[in-house]
Structure 1
Amino acid sequence: MSVKNLIFFGLLLFVPVSIAAHFLEWGPLVVFITAGLAILPLAGWMGTATEELAVVVGPTLGGLLNATFGNATELIIALIALNAGLIDVVKASITGSIIGNLLLVMGLAMLLGGIRFKEQEFQSIVARVNASSMNLAVIAILLPTAVQFTSAGIEEKTLQNLSLAVAVILILVYMLTLLFSMKTHSYLYDVGVAEIVGESEDTAEPIKAEEISEHKPNTLLWSSVLLGATLLVAIESELLVESLEVATESLGLTPLFTGVILLPIIGNAAEHATAVTVAMKNKMDLSLSVAVGSSMQIALFVAPVLVIAGWFMGQPMDLDFNPFELVAVAVAVLIANSISSDGKSNWLEGTLLLAAYAVLGVAFYFHPVI
């Protein structure tokens, strides 16, 4: 068993601990910390179950399954927070997930992969396509804020309708990106498949083709794991959100910092580990697809879904973000695009991404409550 799985098994102990902390009233801070730690392994098992089921259903449905459940943890946390009326925290978690994946995850992957391998290569064409999609996402979430800023006395209902229209367009674009990556141009995303590359989690030795063909996941088992982990994530997210305001206040943290930094790290931890692990095995294409793909899914799918869900819930969720959040997202997209455009990476580029994330994190920490 790999070290990552051992850690995940250990962290599962926080599931009953967090529930006990809630019912025994150990305090919001204890509930918040234990619930956050409990979500980490659950998100990891959701990802593992999705990957195993993807093997059974085939590449097309498997890709759709991965696309649907790729950011399920963040979506569940955001939906529960949205239902609780914590709209500013939800918006901050959207921008935080984009920033975290582009700077923190890519940065760690390039740094640790670059330490082990002098220079790593990946598909520059895919990087450019992803860059164009992220540019569109930045423009889409910038416009409602720009309209609100430049139009004196604009009604909230008008801003909400604008956000709904933009949300529908972004979801359509997301569906087209899935069609592009899984059907019309899937060959761009199949780097290394011809080599039938498979590596065990504990060694860097290739798995033989016969062993791969014999790997037939238990559909019932992994479906149960996916369902169980999803239900537990929903329960833990409820505990997390209920204790969030009081707990972060006692820690001296603002809702903005909590949404941008803390919640995305909790929701994305499993993906962080995957991206870094495969980068250290010199599979930079896969590492970047995890990091950038997650950011694209947040911007083109999760954010629009939350806008539409807010409309059904009676919560006025729109795409009018804090201007400082938009600046941070634009900075993250700009530096990530410039570094990945040449199709090569090294440890210094990873360090630059991490430095940019650290600077933004400090800025959000000292940003006053508005």
Structure 2
Amino acid sequence: MSIKKILSYVLLIFVPISIAAEYLHWGTMPVFITSALAIVPLAIWLSTATEEVALTTGPSIGGLLNAVFGNATELIIAVVALKAGLVDIVKASITGTIISNILLVMGLSMFLGGLRYKEQEFQPVIARVNGSTMTLAVTAILLPTTVIYTSNGVEPSAIENLSLTAAVVLIIVYVLTLIFSLKTHSYLYDVSVVELEEGTAEKETPEHKPNLWLWLGVLVISTVAVAIESEIFVGVVEEATKGLGLTPLFTGVILLPLVGGAAEYVTAIGVALKNNMDLSVSVAMGSSLLVALLVAPVLVLLGLVFHQPMDLNFNPFEVVAVAIAVALGNLISLDGKSNWLEGSLLLATYVILGAAFYFHPA
């Protein structure tokens, strides 16, 4: 049994424990820890259900499902936090997810995969496309910060309008990337979603397909459960992290991506250990692209609905950190080859940035 399956079963015990901790008033820290641990298996089940439904519905619809629901857990947590008015944490979680996927997830995948295999290869053309798109996305979502710090004074309404414009453009770009990857250039992304689990050639046969209605039910239940646990988690995250001496910046950039992105982490590392770096890089880079091109713009639009001032004006240090992560990730992945040393360089950068965010007084 894979580590992903073990986690998805064992950590489910924290779902009822976290609910009990919330309603029996066990205290802030027990609720914070148990709800965070409960979100991890639910995120894995949500990811697994999406993959199984994708197998049943075919490559086109399946690819679209994976593209839309790939970061559902992160989006749900961010939406709940946005409704609660934790705008600073939501903004930090956007940049944090991009940084963690490029540096931590891809770094661990290259490092652990490189320890087992001397050198691993993946399609450089996908890395180039992802790198170019990510550079555009990061430029767009970080421009409002640049505008503020390169002018004498900018009206808040101007930043809001710029953020809305960028959000609409990014959503359009996301639709174009879907057309590119699912239709016009789908052959470049010919990585079977079956391999996301265990290279299921052994257990899957042409005659056997996953039960569509069963996995649709799992998808709905896990989504609702993630929403419930996110409400519990977000309700105490500010007080708990303040008690630990953590800033909203560190909480959003480091802690939230670790909680919400557990499924992607396990998947990317698992397939890298099976010498499938194509899929590993696609998971890591694809998750970052989904956050930059879809999650961030959607949150900006939802800010209008919730009457929360959500824009793309980030902390300047976040701008620098994201630029470093994207530049290093692009540089290392462009040749289509990886080894344990390149993975360690990504991890070292993540640790240094994490320390910088921890000591940052923001």
TM-score with structure 1 setting the length:
0.95
Q: Distance in 1 between matches of 2:251 and 2:204?
A: 45
The residue number in structure 2 matching 1:340 is 333
Give the alignment partner of residue 252 of structure 1, picking from 240, 245, 251. Answer: 245
Q: Distance in 2 between matches of 1:176 and 1:116?
A: 37
Q: Distance in 2 between matches of 1:64 and 1:28?
A: 39
Q: Distance in 2 between matches of 1:285 and 1:175?
A: 22
The amino acid across from 2:248 in the alignment is: P
How far 1:69 sits from its partner (Å)?
Answer: 0.5
Pick closer, same or farther for the CA change 1:77–1:198 going to 2, 3 Å: closer
Could you list the structure 1 runs, at least 4 aligned residues long, displaced by more than 3 angstroms after superposition. Answer: 196-201
Q: Distance in 2 between matches of 1:97 and 1:200?
A: 22
How far 1:335 sits from its partner (Å)?
Answer: 0.4
Contact 2:55 2:194 (8 Å CA) reproduced: no
Secondary structure at the aligned position of 2:206 is classed as helix
Give the alignment partner of residue 320 of structure 2, picking from 327, 330, 352. Answer: 327
How far 1:137 sits from its partner (Å)?
Answer: 1.2
Matches within 5 A, 1:65-84: 65-84=65-84
The residue number in structure 1 matching 2:216 is 223
How far 1:161 sits from its partner (Å)?
Answer: 1.0
Q: Distance in 1 between matches of 2:291 and 2:121?
A: 25
Contact 1:200 1:207 (8 Å CA) reproduced: no
Q: Distance in 1 between matches of 2:132 and 2:30?
A: 42
Whether 1:153 aligns to 2:147 is: no
Contact 2:196 2:267 (8 Å CA) reproduced: no
How far 1:200 sits from its partner (Å)?
Answer: 7.4
The residue number in structure 2 matching 1:292 is 285
Q: Distance in 2 between matches of 1:43 and 1:256?
A: 23
Give the alignment partner of residue 269 of structure 2, picking from 263, 270, 276. Answer: 276
Contact 2:102 2:288 (8 Å CA) reproduced: yes
How far 1:311 sits from its partner (Å)?
Answer: 1.1
Q: Which runs of 5+ in 1 are unaligned?
A: none
Q: How many correspondences in the alignment?
A: 362
The residue number in structure 2 matching 1:350 is 343
How far 1:119 sits from its partner (Å)?
Answer: 0.4
The amino acid across from 1:363 in the alignment is: A
Identity %: 65
Whether 1:207 aligns to 2:201 is: yes
The residue number in structure 2 matching 1:10 is 10
Pick closer, same or farther for the CA change 1:66–1:200 going to 2, 3 Å: closer
The residue number in structure 2 matching 1:28 is 28
TM-score with structure 2 setting the length:
0.97
The residue number in structure 1 matching 2:256 is 263
The amino acid across from 1:325 in the alignment is: E
How far 1:220 sits from its partner (Å)?
Answer: 1.2
For the aligned residue pairs, the C-alpha RMSD in angstroms reads: 1.6
Q: Which runs of 5+ in 2 are unaligned?
A: none
The residue number in structure 2 matching 1:104 is 104
TM-superposition CA deviations, 1:14-60 (whole Å, max 9, x none):
11111111111111111111100000000000000000000111101
